Amino acid sequence: MTKRKYTRRTEQERISELEDKIRVIRERMESKKRKDSAVLKELPKVKRALNKFAQLAVDHNRHDLANSCVAFLAGLDRAAREAPAGSRQTQPQDSER
């Protein structure tokens, strides 16, 4: 039997891994504070249902419906990652110039 060779992590590698863990925990804490967390908990169910529908549409040669569904899912996913509307700052309109 040959001996195993272990490589010891450097201090910098250990620090960066711990910083990553801290970042993940902070993100989790922020997500729990969000007012729309109940909505976000239901999002995976909606995604599964829409993906199932998109696959059914492809199976029945309705690629237009499948593409629309996938595009909607992408927009929904992007909107879910943003902060709720109450905490957003409004940008000035172009018509105010």
Q: pLDDT tens-digit profile of 22-51? A: 999 998 888 777 777 778 888 899 999 999
SS3 string of 5-43? Answer: CCCCCCHHHHHHHHHHHHHHHHHHHHHHHCCCHHHHHHH
Is residue 86 very low, low, confident or very high in pLDDT (cuts 50, 70, 90)? low
Indicate the pTM of the whole model.
0.52
More confident residue, 6 or 57: 57
Residue 36 φ/ψ, nearest 5 degrees:
-95, 25
